[in-house]
Amino acid sequence: MASMSQAIVWIHGDCLNPHQAALLSHPDSSAIWVWDDALLRQRCLSLKRILFIYECLLDLPVVIRRGQVAQEISKFAQENNATKVVTTNSFSPGFARICISLTQQGLQIVRYDLEPFVDLPQAPDLGRFSRYWRLVKPHLE
């Protein structure tokens, strides 16, 4: 039987890397991804982008769910007798709201910082990948 201090790993769209610290630090913990229907409608993600995310998820040891993110993570934690949610930090306002909701439900949030693969002279525009890539690419060569 699992101990009540067990953790689950929450994978979100800002870190789909199979080598991220949240996964590597808890290799025996169950991981979850939640398709957020409200966010998908709000952001009007293209089918191409959704397929890209799904293909990334296929490379991860993750249970895929759909619904309200905090609610699904909380249910998943209960199913796994977990009191901790391990994840990677995000600048998304939605991420902060979800973390607050999970904390209010009694879950401890453990956040790992994402290792940047490049140091940028200015904050990137994350609205479009192509704009981001134009800013990043010269720093990679």
pTM of the model: 0.81
The C-alpha atoms of residue 53 and residue 117 are separated, in whole angstroms, by: 20
Which domains does the chain show, CATH number per domain? 6-116 (3.40.50.620)
Sheet containing 6-10: give its strands across: 63-66, 31-35, 6-10, 82-88, 108-112
pLDDT by 10-residue block (mean), the chain, 141 residues:
71 91 94 90 85 94 96 97 96 90 96 80 72 79 65
Q: What pLDDT score was predicted for residue 35?
A: 94
Asked whether the beta carbons of 85 and 109 are under 8 A apart, the reply is yes
Specify which residues 5 forms β-bridges with. Answer: none
Q: What pLDDT score was predicted for residue 30?
A: 97
